[in-house]
A and B are shown apart, each in its own frame.
Chain A
Amino acid sequence: MSEFKVVGQSVPKADALDKVIGRAKFAADISFPGMLYAKALRSPVAHGILQHIDYSAAAALPGVAAVLTGKDVPGANNFGIIIKDEPVIVKNGEKIRKIGDTLALVAAENEAIAEQALALIKVDIEELTPVLCPIAAMQPDAPKIYDKGNVLAVRKIVKGDTEAGFRDSAVVVQQQYKTQMVEHAYIEPEAGIALFDGDVVTMWVSTQNPHYDAKEVARNLNIGLNKVRVIQAATGGGFGGKLDVSVQVHLAMLAVVTRRPVRMVYSRTESIKNSVKRHPYTITMKTGADANGRLTAFECTIIGDTGAYASYGPGTLTRSAVHATGPYEIPNVKITAYTVYTNNPQAGAMRGFGVPQVAFAHEAQMDMLAEKVGISPLEIRLLNALRPGSLTATGQYLEQSVGIVSTLEAAAAKVREIKLERRGGRL
């Protein structure tokens, strides 16, 4: 009998009824009379300088209510959760850093007119050599995406003495691992609708982060944060990909300028091309153990391609560094993680936040060590697993609720029950 009455009960989800009925309002389901439809003109070039933009024909097209360019952004014209490095709209004379950078916005009576208007905008871009590989981007002679250089952040973790640790190891495995860029693929593409009512901008948007959104709208519109109201519409998945700003600032600007409701809904292609991604990593790991399989030393270098803008990049690489050892106690640790700019799509938060990449690597290392020492995958993990009283790589003392051993035991019991059999010997 549980000590709780409500906690621990599998009650029905609060939102499930509205969702099975089809009444839950996602942002693209909301409309208002007199609503305009917004579209963005995006850069076809990965690295360049916007020299000139001529939108006179687009503005003159019947049914177009507004065309905005970089000069029309009233406030900061930059956003980003960690570093404000991404422009709302690239200004004349300023840098384009990825395919998809916004060059202009259009609001029109319908989507077809908005598309036509985009096609009428003429842009003149001076192309620069794009930097497409993070390792090349780190070289001193690489073209600079930012004046301050292409290495955005370096996170170091040092505990004990790895040289001594490896000297005392009976076995050492070293391997390079690579992981790919992937897409969140929430089934609902980015969407929002905004109103300017009195002096308050109100919007319904698909988001994981409404309070952050409001701050970026206020900064870029140069209005008080109390004059921005962001309401999360029913949100069709996020997985980290709806933590960044997508339609929010664009919609707010268009609503203020036109004083009409404005809706913006990404197509699937627009969503995949312009949203953040999971960081591709290059990981080098070296792990040592004594003859019994107890871990002695660990070194790891991680290079993460964060693309054109920081988004959650430095946070992701920091988390990777902290978690790179896996859930094991290792006395000697040296980890360096680099967050590197390129002209690729920006990588940011995605469910797991840099840990799936390092887990793929540290778990291969554990299996390779177990094989060398002659113990099973379960044995090497049980031997090294964090426990109450362990010190992590960052020197954190773990006091309680350290359930890794319990999960190993629970999984192993289930494996026996359903008769999963390892080809290479016992689990």
Chain B
Amino acid sequence: MKKRGVGMGCMWYGVGNTGLPNPAGAHVDILDDGTVLVLTGCADIGQGSDTALAQIAAEEIGVRYEDVRVVSADTGVTPDAGATSASRQTYISGNAVRSAARAAKQLILETAAEMLGVSQEEIIAGDRLLKVRAASGKSQAFTDCQSECRVGLGLDSGSDTREVSIAEVIAKCRMKGKLTLGHGWYNPDTTGLDAETGQGRPYATYAFATQVAEVEVDEDTGEVTVLRVVAAHDVGRAINPRNVEGQIEGGCAIGMGYALMEEIKLQEGNVLNCNFATYLLPTSLDVPEIYPLIVEDPEKTGPFGAKGVGEPALIPTAAAIANAVYDAVGVRITDLPITPDKILAKLKEKQNKGA
């Protein structure tokens, strides 16, 4: 008989290396036409760090996503950003890129403030424009300086005086012989762990998640089918929600394989199942319906509040599936993977005890 069950799994995950320095660096160059080049050592292995870092740079500088090109992971060109591991790149390299972008933007703001005749604090950047904050009053000095600047750029002095384009500001910077380069780095605030007690601050921030799995267990064959997985992840801030969903969905699939299918078989240290015909991965037919839920509890020290999601995505899946199997058929499998033979053995044991 087939029986359904539902189980829950939770996790936390410290972002970055445990109790160790793990800095990342970045360079940002705002080019003559207002487009942006970001140099980072961060290796994008498909998870989307180039994209997230471009978004972070674009947001900070006030240009569009398509204005930013990220050149990554070339030791001859890019600064060290540490490993793409520990779910650390959005948080740590994200902060490094943001810091570099801020340094470059600072140079623009100085010039823009002159052009707009306001203080730097009164300027907001976005969509390739630098605008005077709505609340600030217009001074005489502003009006005079503004028209002077616009005339200097060969523009009509009478047009909108409350904004300038980033390209205009860059042109002004270049006229003054000023390049708009920034560099930055970030190292999370951690301490080492005490050798005897392990006490300390191993990570600057943690990601959290809850997943709930629904399974169907065939009591006759021991086969487990995962039907649905709800996966709620606190990522701080989703820089790119679709890519966060992609991480969650992919993580759930690997977690499902870990729970039910995958195991390296060894004999005297030799891997016996060393191809995909014998080491089985989840296929499109095995993966359940996944409901990714993005929870945003912004992290003060994260770039725009972001933490990380790469690894958290798969951590609670096996736990939730194991608890769901228990809910379905009342046996707890304590060694992974949860294969049909283990379920049948436990069911038999339970039946014998009952009899």
Cβ-defined contact, A8 with B241, below 8 A: yes
Q: Is the CB of B334 within 8 A of A177?
A: yes
Total contacting residues, chain A, CB less than 8 A: 120
The reply to whether B56 and A7 contact each other, CB–CB distance below 8 Å, is: yes
Task: Give bound CA distance, A176 to B334, whole Å.
Answer: 7
Minimum distance in angstroms from B278 CB to a CB of chain A = 9
Residues of A within 8 A of B119 (CB): none
Assess the A4–B254 pair: CB atoms within 8 A: no
Contact present for B54 and A356 (CB under 8 Å): no
A408 vs B9: C-alpha distance in the bound complex, in angstroms? Answer: 10
Could you say which of A98, A157, A175, A278 has the most chain B C-beta atoms within 10 Å of its C-beta?
A157
The stretch of B14-22, B104-112, B133-141, B143-151 in contact with A is B14-22
**Is A121 at the interface (CB under 8 A from chain B)?**
no
A247 touches B (CB below 8 Å): no
Task: Decide if B275 touches A268 in the complex (CB within 8 Å).
Answer: yes
Which residues from 165 to 201 on chain A have a C-beta closer than 8 Å to any C-beta of chain B? 175-183, 185
Q: Is A386 on the interface with B (CB-CB < 8 A)?
A: yes
How many inter-chain contacts with C-beta < 8 Å in the A-B complex?
389
- Identify A231's interface contact among B75, B211, B304, B315, CB under 8 A: B75
1/0 per residue A210-246: CB within 8 Å of B?
1111100000000000001111100111111011000
A311-334 vs B, CB cutoff 8 Å, 1 = contact: the mask equals: 010010011011100110000000
CB distance from A322 to the nearest CB of B (A): 5
User: Could you say which of A235, A344, A352, A403 contacts B269, with CB atoms under 8 Å apart?
Assistant: A344
Tell me which residues across on chain B come within 8 A of A208, comparing CB atoms.
Answer: 43, 45, 83-85
Chain A residues near B270: list those with CB within 8 A. Answer: 46, 99, 273
One of B154-162, B218-226, B306-314 contacting the partner:
B306-314
* A235-B45, A420-B228 given; A345·B198 CB < 8 A: no
Q: Give the shortest distance, in Å, between B346 (CB) and chain A (any CB).
A: 14
A421 vs B255: C-alpha distance when bound (angstroms): 22
B193 at the interface (CB under 8 A from A): yes
Q: Which residue of A lies closest to B227 (CB)?
A: A420
Are B74 and A232 in contact, CB atoms less than 8 angstroms apart?
yes
B13–A323 CB distance below 8 A = yes
Contact A9 B43 (CB under 8 A): no
Asked, given contacts A10-B243, A177-B334, A323-B14, whether A232 binds B65 with beta carbons under 8 Å apart, the answer is no
Given contacts A363-B322, A410-B210, contact A132 B205 (CB under 8 A): no
Residue-wise, chain B 255-280 has the 8 Å CB interface mask toward A (1 for contact) of 10110001110101111011110010
CA distance A199 to B206 in the complex (A): 44
Give bound CA distance, A422 to B213, whole Å. 10
| B-side contacts of A404, CB under 8 Å | 10, 12, 208-210, 234
Interface residues of B in 69-90 (CB under 8 A from A): 70, 72-76, 80-86
B45 touches A364 (CB 8 A): no
A213–B84 Cα distance when bound, in Å, is 13
User: Are the C-beta atoms of B10 and A157 separated by less than 8 Å?
Assistant: no
10 pairs of residues in contact across A and B, judged by CB atoms under 8 Å:
A211-B80, A228-B75, A231-B76, A232-B44, A235-B43, A363-B323, A393-B198, A404-B208, A407-B293, A424-B5
Given contacts A243-B85, A319-B18, A403-B295, 9 further A-B contacts (CB under 8 A): A4-B59, A175-B334, A182-B264, A230-B75, A359-B319, A367-B326, A377-B7, A403-B207, A414-B293
The 7 A-B residue pairs with the shortest CB-CB distance, nearest first, are A403-B234, A157-B198, A46-B269, A403-B297, A10-B242, A232-B73, A363-B319
